[in-house]
Amino acid sequence: MSVQHPAEPATAEFTLAPEPTGGRSLIELDPAEAFELLAGAGYGRIVFSHHALPAIRPVNHFVSDGQIIIRSRLSATVAGATGTVVAYEADDLDPLRRLGWSVVVTGIARTIDDPARVARYEQALRPWVELPMDVVIAIQPEIITGYRLVETSAGSDVTR
């Protein structure tokens, strides 16, 4: 498999955002608060192994019974990740103010086979793409980490 690179790098004109005033600190969140933030996000990114290399796909999700629920197609590469360890990341970052949060959950992805649960999740989670989604996947969190980027005033000690 070869990777194609453009002959010349693309150039884009942009305006740099003004530097935010004040300092920034990174605060580690406890797992419960981090998972609550992820549950409130409408989408994230699933990270899985594809041909022994990391692959990332954006997906919408919701949380039910402490699990992250996503839908996919049986033919999609992410569906092949069931039964394996995956990571799931969601965030809410403000690039202008340089504030926000990021949460990463690591756990086992499993296909949901129970028809009642599948029907419930199909009703609750509508895919963003116009393709048939015939697989429901649950990620059972094993490790939950989260960080919040906050403003700090001079002399404050916010970092945990």
The total of structural domains in the chain comes to 1
CA distance 112 to 138: 7
Is residue 145 domain-resident? yes
Confidence category of residue 92, pLDDT binned at 50, 70, 90: very high
**Cα angle value 79/90/5 (rounded, 5°):** 70
Structural domain of 117:
29-152
Is residue 38 domain-resident? yes
The pLDDT tens digits of the residues spanning 94-113 come to 999 999 999 999 999 999 99
Model pTM score: 0.80
What's 86's domain CATH number?
2.30.110.10
The pLDDT tens digits of the residues spanning 42-84 come to 899 999 998 889 999 999 999 999 999 998 866 577 777 778 8
CA distance 37 to 35: 5
Confidence category of residue 133, pLDDT binned at 50, 70, 90: confident
Q: What is the pLDDT at residue 14?
A: 57
Is residue 157 domain-resident? no
Is residue 9 domain-resident? no
Is residue 18 domain-resident? no
